[in-house]
Amino acid sequence: MESGTKSCACEGPVTRPAPSSGPGFWASGGWLLAALPAWFAIYLSLKPAADWLAFSVFALRPGSRLGEAVAFFAYDGPKVLLLLGLVVLGVSFVQTFISPERTRDLLAKRTGAWGNLLASLLGIATPFCSCSAVPLFIGFVRVGVPLGATFSFLVSAPMVNEVALFLLLSLFGWRIALLYTVTGVMVAFLSGWILSKLRMERHLEPWVMEIPFEASVGASAPMGFARRIEMALQATRDIVAKVWLYVLAGIAVGAFLHGYVPAELLARFMGRSAWWSVPLAVLIGVPLYANAAGIIPIVQVLLAKGAALGTALAFMMAVTGLSLPETVILRKVLKPRLLAVFLGIVAVGIVLVGYLFNLLM
Amino acid sequence: MKIEVLGPGCAKCKLLAERTEEAAKGLGADFTLVKVTEYPDIVARGVMTTPGLVVDGVVKSQGHVPTVAAIRELLR
């Protein structure tokens, strides 16, 4: 978990297209295609390799606490890192086609619910860093992106991103990853849409609309396939280098707590029967500031120890989607009333998602 | 040469300032390096994603931290 208002929870550098012809297809990108079968071969042999390591090399007894913990870690650690590499590479490649400037131009002047939906969806794939929230907000609003759509983007971008997706996918399976994505987009869409109906444009700080402003143009020189692959690889290296330790630490904690903390401990506080647990999880989660890599392993432990799915998802959304530092940053452009309404709507949306899952699952 | 590093003071902004200084010194150029940390000043320069690098009033890079070698090219 990170702390302090000056640090940044963004998962990696925002890579940006730059004009370059680059080397040939095979030299820079083609070998990746050849590497894919090798990736699958390694992935499929992880389980036997982990068992062999734990039960033959370390000679631990299958079924024993320590033996199972070591086997779990030796399997889950490399598995998650392999998945991280593949997913982040794929997303980084897609992101070479999307810049904040392009997203902004796509959203400009697009009023109504479609604008909000599009903003929520673009928020998933657009590279975004909370340090940039203020200049980005002004950039959006000043070129005519409706306030509601801007908020939809601001909610969706940090909450649903590639690292969150990959971790959910590898730790909880595709159903939960999909549920989280769909409901995250829903919360972003509805929050922005409701805000647009409230017509709160006059609650912006005056300087937002008054300062001299010049719309920036994202570097848009045409880029070859090889160059995009090269940039995606660079981004993947940076992101993996930044989060692998958090991920392994989370899995290690998960592996060991599993045996030593009574499974029913959290059920009383975060189980389905405790109706107040969802709002409480959101209240605790909002001031916390962490990126998806830091929070998801914790969510894994919560779930394993008896927390209800809806409560755990609501907690994660509250931590990633809203945060105290971001609130302080946004106060520079929003008057208190608009800021409060924004926080309130998003928090209520997250609570509703929590209840929904606790009812359905 | 007037170099401005734009950003509220996050880790990446500091990194960009360090690399830019290294690149500029490597070129042996006569330069001044200013950190622009206030949001109105950042926005007024047309930068939407920090950190940004502005050389003599022209936005050279934004939203990421280029390598020292890449910055050297941008400064030329």
* Of B54, B73, B1, residue with least CA distance to A18: B73
Look up the ipTM and state it.
0.85
In chain B, whose CA is at the least distance from the CA of A10?
B12
Residue A151 has pLDDT above 70, yes or no: yes
B40 lies within 8 A of chain A by CB: yes
| CA–CA distance, A122 with A130 (Å, rounded to integer) | 16
Of A212, A215, A216, the CB nearest to B62: A216
A96-105, A218-227, A340-349 — which one is most confidently predicted on average? Answer: A340-349
Q: Does B57 touch chain A (CB under 8 A)?
A: no
Region A188-209 average pLDDT: 90
pLDDT recorded at residue A265: 66
Interchain contact, B64 vs A16, CB within 8 Å: yes
- A96/A110 Cα distance (integer angstroms): 23
Partner A contacted by B50 (CB < 8 A): yes
Q: Could you state, in chain order, the average pLDDT of each consecutive group of 10 residues for chain B (76 residues)?
A: 88 87 89 90 85 89 82 86
Range scoring the smallest mean pLDDT among A111-125, A208-222, B45-59: A208-222
Q: Is the pTM of this model over 0.80?
A: no
Q: In CATH terms, is domain B2-75 a member of 3.40.30.10?
A: yes
Cβ separation A14–B63 shorter than 8 A:
yes
**Residue A217 C-alpha, separation from nearest chain B C-alpha, in angstroms:** 9
* Average pLDDT estimate for A286-307: 75
CA distance to partner chain A, nearest, from residue B33 (Å): 21
For residues A293 and A170, what is the distance between their CA atoms, to the nearest angstrom?
12
Determine the Cα–Cα distance for residues A288 and A315; give it in Å rounded to an integer.
Answer: 10
Chain B contact set for A215 (CB, 8 A): 46
- In chain A, positions 65-104, which contact chain B (CB-CB < 8 Å)? 99-101, 104
Residue B50 per-residue DSSP state = S
| The predicted structure's pLDDT at residue A223 | 66
**Residue ranges of domains in chain B:** 2-75
A residues 279-318 closer than 8 Å to B (CB):
none
CB atoms A216 and B10 under 8 Å: no
Interchain pair B43, A127: CB under 8 A: no
Burial A25-45 (b: 16+ CB within 10 A, else e): eeebbeeeeeeeeeeeeeeee
Look at residue A37 in the predicted model and tell me its pLDDT: 84
Mean pLDDT, to the nearest integer, of A244-267? 71
Q: Tell me the pLDDT of chain A averaged across its residues.
A: 79
Least trusted range by pLDDT, from A191-195, A203-207, A265-269: A265-269
Contact state of A214 with B39 under an 8 Å Cβ cutoff: no
Q: CB–CB of B12 and A216 under 8 A?
A: no
- Which positions of B are catalytic? 10, 13
Chain A nearest C-alpha distance from B25 (Å): 24
